[in-house]
């Protein structure tokens, strides 16, 4: 497999704040690559540099063989972008929006009309295409936003958190369509802070945090890196202080990590079942009420927790 995108030490600073700190990775033709990271990790900044909107502070990248700094026009023609925030004309209908953006990508006449119909079909808005975008629900707007990125059938599609803030049904539809697009040969760079999405979609994942790419590889590779560990998640009552529990739990033999987020304590351990009794005893002694307990097989969440000491959730 050849690389359609190569990134070398790409960095971006806003003033003296380093939003992206010299990251390097490759995306192979035909794969779905996810950039997984929490809010403010630098995902959008990375996408903006790769789509030639922002000039990198340092480093370089090539897309479809063209440099993103010297050959911007060729790069722009090769990629499609679905921005994180809706970028549509609310006073135009879906069809009018698609028509305008299609023409910005050089489509016209009959081929434009055909593509608009295909895309409307794909995003399931053929029957509502004539209504102004401002009358749409959040999910419908997101679908139009995605449709615009697909019109010119780019070889490489950037999708920046396309499922943020929408209902589960729309989200399902979007994830399925990403898989469909990929099946038809489109390479996708997908950013998200949902571990489940990265797990479901991607061939390979890059984990980004505070502007650093802290891990990269297929899911198996990444989960193997944390070893044969499970994650034990304790949901505790709101009136209690889970930090005291975490402190006690860390002293237990076999616990690799114990972290607190909101009202839950996440524990990484190779022996979850065996620890369970001890943990519950500690909680009782401390007067902490446990509402529910989850045990999870090794996953990306655990990888992130293991690498950063923090949970991925916001």
Partner 1 sequence: MRKLLIIAFKDVLLIFRDRAALLFMFLAPFALTIGLGLATGSFSGKSNSGILDLPIVIVNDDNGQLGNALVEMVQSDQLADLLEPEFLTDLKIARKMVDDNKTVAVVYVPAGFTNSIIPNDVTSHSTQIIQLELYGNPSSPTGVGIVRNLLEQFFSEVEVGRVSGTLAVTQLLESGAIDPSQALKVGQAVGELQTDTQVGTSSIKLNNVTAAGTEVKFNMLALLAPGMALMFLMYTVSNGGRTLLVEKAGGTLPRMLISPTSSFQILGGKVFGIFLTGLAQLLILILGTTLLFKLDWGAPFAVVVLVGCSALAATGWGIFLAALLKSPGQVSAVGSAIMLIFGILGGSFTNIAIMPNWVQWISRISPNRWGLDGFTTLAMGGNLANIMIPVIALLIMAAALFLVSVVLFSRRGIGKE
Ligand X SMILES: Nc1ncnc2c1ncn2[C@@H]1O[C@H](COP(=O)(O)OP(=O)(O)OP(=O)(O)O)[C@@H](O)[C@H]1O
- Contact residues: partner 1, CB under 8 A: 14, 48, 51-55, 73, 76-77, 79, 81, 83, 85-89, 91-92, 96, 100-101, 103-106, 108, 148
**Which C-beta is closer to Mg ion: that of 266 or that of 308?**
308
Stretch that binds Mg ion, among 18-26, 37-45, 199-207, 254-262 (CB under 5 A): 37-45
Residue ranges in 74-113 that form contacts with ligand X under rule CB under 6 A: 84
Beta strand extents in the chain (DSSP E only): 3-14, 17-28, 32-36, 58-63, 66-67, 79-82, 156-160, 187-192, 204-209, 212-217, 230-236, 257-261, 264-269, 290-296
In the list ligand X, Mg ion, partner 1, none, the entry touching 42 (Cβ below 5 to 8 angstroms by class) is ligand X
DSSP state of 210: T
Taking residues 125 to 164 in sequence order and writing x for each that binds ligand X by CB under 6 A, - otherwise, the string is ------------------------------------x---
Paired tokens of 137: 């629900």
Paired tokens of 282: 């500690």
Give just the sign of the alpha carbon dihedral 81, 83, 84, 87.
negative
In the list Mg ion, ligand X, partner 1, none, the entry touching 92 (Cβ below 5 to 8 angstroms by class) is partner 1
Query: Listing from the earlier edge strand, what are the strands of the sheet with 290-296?
Result: 257-261, 264-269, 230-236, 290-296
Binds Mg ion (CB under 5 A): choice among 57, 67, 84, 244: 84
Beta carbon of residue 29, minimum distance to partner 1 (angstroms, whole number): 21
Taking residues 22 to 61 in sequence order and writing x for each that binds ligand X by CB under 6 A, - otherwise, the string is ---------------x-xxxxxxx----------------
Paired tokens of 235: 């949901």
**Which C-beta is closer to partner 1: that of 68 or that of 222?**
68
Beta carbon of residue 4, minimum distance to partner 1 (angstroms, whole number): 17
How far apart are the C-alpha atoms of 255 and 252, rounded to whole Å? 6
Give how many residues touch ligand X by CB under 6 A: 14
Strands 204-209 and 32-36: parallel
């Amino acid at each position: 497999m050849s690389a359609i995108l190569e990134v070398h030490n790409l960095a971006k600073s806003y003033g003296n704040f380093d939003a992206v700190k010299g990251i390097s990775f490759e995306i192979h033709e035909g794969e779905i690559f996810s950039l997984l990271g929490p809010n403010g990790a630098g995902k959008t900044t990375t996408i903006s540099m790769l789509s030639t909107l922002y000039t990198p502070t340092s480093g370089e990248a090539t897309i479809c063989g063209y440099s993103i700094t010297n050959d911007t026009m060729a790069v722009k023609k090769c990629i499609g972008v679905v921005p994180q925030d809706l970028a549509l004309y609310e006073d135009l209908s879906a069809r009018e929006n698609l028509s305008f953006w299609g023409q910005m990508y050089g489509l016209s006449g009959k081929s434009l009309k055909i593509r608009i119909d295909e895309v409307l079909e794909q995003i399931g808005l053929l029957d509502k295409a004539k209504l102004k975008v401002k009358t749409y629900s959040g999910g419908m707007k997101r679908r139009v936003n995605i449709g615009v990125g697909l019109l010119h059938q780019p070889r490489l599609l950037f999708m920046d958190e396309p499922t943020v803030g929408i209902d589960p049904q729309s989200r399902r539809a979007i994830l399925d369509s990403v898989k469909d697009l990929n099946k038809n040969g489109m390479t996708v760079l997908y950013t998200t802070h949902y571990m489940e999405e990265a797990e479901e979609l991607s061939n390979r994942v890059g984990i980004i945090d505070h502007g650093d790419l802290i891990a990269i590889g297929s899911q198996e590779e990444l989960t193997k890196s944390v070893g044969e560990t499970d994650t034990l998640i304790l949901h505790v009552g709101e009136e209690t202080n889970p930090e005291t529990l975490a402190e006690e739990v860390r002293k237990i033999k076999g616990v690799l990590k114990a972290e607190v987020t909101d009202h839950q304590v996440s524990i990484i351990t190779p022996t979850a079942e065996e620890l369970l009794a001890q943990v519950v005893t500690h909680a009782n002694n401390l007067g902490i009420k446990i509402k529910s307990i989850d045990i999870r097989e090794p996953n990306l969440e655990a990888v992130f927790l293991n690498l950063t000491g923090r949970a991925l959730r916001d």
